Amino acid sequence: MALGPTQRVFSAAKRLLKSLIANSETRLRLAVFELEEERARLLVLLLLAGASLLLLLLGIATLTALVVVLFWDSYRLTAIAISAGVLIGASLLLAWIAVRQSKRHSLLKETLKQLAADRALLEEPSDETIRRHR
């Protein structure tokens, strides 16, 4: 039994809709996978950064105490002021580096690349593209 024109249009629309849903599902799965990977990576980074900061804090406190004790008799206020200045300067430098690093965009990078490729495939071909294929 042959399909009529209306049935063929509905059948083609149904196939197109199924294809779009399958493509969307694939892209959504990719996005979820990337988010799960990023979450695990961030957790490890936070744990490492926390332990590193704790050890750094203890080391700096010990070093500062050593400098102050060394200069206690003659230049105690100068030693305290210089130690504080160095620590504040280093913290400002690290804060500036952290702000620069936070502006980098890497979340869902592959998903966005795939969506851009999909969009490029769906766009109308230009006259030049049509001429190349002839």
Where the chain has pLDDT below 50, the residues are none
Q: Which two tokens stand for residue 104?
A: 């980098």
**Length of the chain (residues):** 134
User: Which tens digits make up the pLDDT trace of 70-94?
Assistant: 888 898 888 888 888 888 888 889 8
pLDDT at residue 128, rounded to an integer? 58
Q: How far apart are CA 20 and CA 41, in angstroms?
A: 32
Q: Which two tokens stand for residue 96?
A: 């500036």
Our CA dihedral for 116, 118, 120, 123, rounded to 10 degrees, sits at -130
Element (H or E) spanning 12, and its range? helix 5-70
What letter does residue 123 receive in the DSSP assignment?
Answer: S
Q: How far apart are CA 83 and CA 133, in angstroms?
A: 71
Could you tell me the CA-to-CA distances from 127 to 117, 120, 131 in Å, in that order?
A: 20, 15, 6
What letter does residue 7 receive in the DSSP assignment?
Answer: H
Q: How far apart are CA 53 and CA 47, in angstroms?
A: 10
Burial of 17 (0-12, 13-18, 19+ CB in 10 A): exposed
